Amino acid sequence: MTTRLTVLLFIIVGFTQLAKAQDPQFSQFYANPLYLNPAFAGSDRCPRAHVNYRNQWPALNSAYVTYSASYDQHVDWLEGGVGLHLMDDIQGDGAVNTFYADFMYAYTFRINRKFYLKGGFQASYIYKSLNMDFIYPDMIHPLYGAIYPTQEDFIPTDDNKGFFDFSLGLLGYTGNHYFGIAVHHITEPSESYRENSDAVLPRKYTVHYGTKIPIRMRGFKKGELFLSPNVIYQRQQDFEQFNYGIYFNRKSIVGGFWFRQNFKFQYDSFIMMLGFIQDQFKFSYSYDLTVSRLRNATLGAHEVSIGYTFPCRQKRAKFRAISCPSF
């Protein structure tokens, strides 16, 4: 009962007029590239598909579970890439369900023989639904259960809401270096169930940079071992986070460690990831070890990703694929 009430309190706060929503987050950033930045659409040589699953704070009885699937490919005659990203975010064990359908196009600019820019545009449709069968805390009698009428001043009369959204992204890469900027929810659409409310979906700003460093040492052949340090900064409304970490890659094995914090040096999570790549197939698992004051109640987050790159003919010489981490 205590766990259920905790989940309901999170949901009720989300209905208040002054509440500002935040997007779901993934820890395997590059295993879900279209969600990180729409300019990643078509950035690989061949078509690819990704499936992702995240269970955040599992101790709260499936309070936050997110599913994601995407497909993208480069199209020569469009001089860029196209992509489709679908995501289902389930909160409060189904009390709030948000479905995202994102369509994106990223045009490729060839600056010179080694440096490329991709400009991405994303159009989205977001559909929110409520399950009003849950119980508010003020309805519960300590002995007889839910017997009281709720005193909540706002109960939605329409439990479904859909709206359109738009985002932009920029991606630059040369050799083993890559960077990007993305702005999601440019129009800040309203997602409130109350009329004339200022509860909008705030803009999310993302800046990311990384590099891939080949390691040459005795006992390793050329191209067998790589290190890839990365940083990602994100801000949405008053919430901000700074992610920094490093991947290591030897043949088919990929591992990584990340820290997540804000600029006030308040640490949130330590992220551990291990993945496997074989031919066109890749699989990885990561765990967010919560290091904030919530650590005793939430038990971190589990995340799994699966990716597949479809066989294709070699692209024209002027196309260069981005060299970034797989996860």
Residue 84 within any structural domain of the chain: yes
Of 5-19, 129-143, 174-188, 235-249, minimum mean pLDDT range: 5-19
**pTM of the shown model:** 0.85
* pLDDT tens per residue across span 197-221: 667 889 999 999 999 988 877 666 6
Dist. CA 170–CA 80, nearest whole Å:
13
Give the pairing of strands 213-214 and 145-146: unpaired
Domain tally, the chain: 1
**What sign results for the dihedral spanned by CA atoms 296, 273, 38, 180?**
positive
Residue 149 within any structural domain of the chain: yes
Residue 324 within any structural domain of the chain: no
Give yes or no for residue 21 having a pLDDT over 60. Answer: no
Dist. CA 161–CA 163, nearest whole Å:
7
* pLDDT tens per residue across span 33-42: 999 999 999 9
Looking at residues 17-45, what average pLDDT do you find? Answer: 84
pLDDT at residue 309, as a whole number = 94
Residue 321 within any structural domain of the chain: no
Residue 314 within any structural domain of the chain: no
Residue 319 within any structural domain of the chain: no
Residue 276 within any structural domain of the chain: yes
Q: What is the CATH number of the domain that holds 223?
A: 2.40.160.40
pLDDT at residue 292, as a whole number = 73
pLDDT at residue 4, as a whole number = 44
Give yes or no for residue 10 having a pLDDT over 60. Answer: no
Structural domain harbouring 137: 2-309
pLDDT at residue 13, as a whole number = 42
| Structure-model confidence comparison of residues 165 and 155, the more confident one | 165
Question: pLDDT tier at 2 (50, 70, 90 boundaries)?
Answer: very low
* pLDDT tens per residue across span 264-283: 777 888 999 999 998 899 99
Residue 317 within any structural domain of the chain: no
Question: 179 forms bridges with which residues in the sheet?
Answer: 172, 209
